[in-house]
Amino acid sequence: MQFELVKLPYAANSLEPVISKQTIEFHHGKHLQTYVNNLNNLILGTAFESTDLETIVSEAEGAIFNNAGQVLNHTLYFTQFSPAGERKPSGKLAAAINAAYGSFEKFQKEFETAGTGLFGSGWVWLAADKYGELSITKEANAGNPVTKGLIPLLCFDVWEHAYYLDYQNRRGDHLKDLWKIVDWKAVEARYQ
């Protein structure tokens, strides 16, 4: 199976000023493309050659895991944004967030705190277990909640390449601004 670079569901400049066209071109067009290319080369002749991405992330180690994790993580990341989407969750996901965190605003604050508190590079996630119970997880490097049997719903990338051109070392400001472009309909589609 050959993996391909996910197509953006929006124009490269349409998330500005939260994420600039330049950041999208580097982050999506160069960083993610490199992970896709590396993964395709690494799985040739292995047991993962005909395996789906989530299975690879769940079972692989080393370089295959790192590149597969980054492909999955970035695919979820780039497809959860929209210049004109729903800016708050609704329905069952909104109810689950309110039940777990008390309010959407409290959830946002806890999510941002997790993201700013993650040392080094990685990801902060909203994930669900098989019963729909929510949790916020912090994953270093290429980590993804699927390795813990969870369903990834929402992710913020806290690797510096995700925000440095636009925010320099102000990770917290970047995390606060990302809420302006999250399309909750895309996130809700992941929550069954």
What region does 105 belong to: left with phi over 0, alpha with psi -120 to 50, or beta? alpha
What is the structure's pLDDT at 163?
A: 87
> Which three-class secondary structure state does DSSP give residue 126?
strand
What is the structure's pLDDT at 52?
A: 95
What is the structure's pLDDT at 166?
A: 87
Averaged pLDDT, 72-85: 95
Q: Which domains does the chain have, with CATH numbers?
A: 21-78 (1.10.287.990), 91-190 (3.55.40.20)
Averaged pLDDT, 146-167: 92
> How far, in Å, CA of 80 to CA of 75, rounded?
9
What are the E-state strand segments in the chain? 122-128, 134-140, 151-157
What is the structure's pLDDT at 165?
A: 81
What is the structure's pLDDT at 1?
A: 75
Q: pTM to 2 decimals?
A: 0.94
**Which residues have C-beta within 8 Å of that of residue 141, sequence separation ≥ 6?**
66, 69, 120, 121, 122
For residue 35, name the pLDDT band (cuts at 50, 70, 90): very high
> How far, in Å, CA of 191 to CA of 127, rounded?
9
What is the structure's pLDDT at 164?
A: 86
Q: 127-146 as b/e, with b when 16 or more CB fall inside 10 Å?
A: bbeeeeebebbebeebbbbb
Lowest mean pLDDT among 67-71, 94-98, 116-120, 146-150: 116-120
Residue (of 107, 92, 86) closest to 156 by Cα position: 107
Query: By the 8 A CB rule, do 61 and 19 touch?
Result: no
Residue (of 41, 49, 149, 154) closest to 94 by Cα position: 154
> How far, in Å, CA of 32 to CA of 6, rounded?
9
Mean pLDDT of the chain: 95
Q: How many CB atoms lie within 10 A of CB 4?
A: 10
What is the structure's pLDDT at 92?
A: 96
Cα first-last separation, the chain: 27
Averaged pLDDT, 76-90: 93
Averaged pLDDT, 141-156: 97
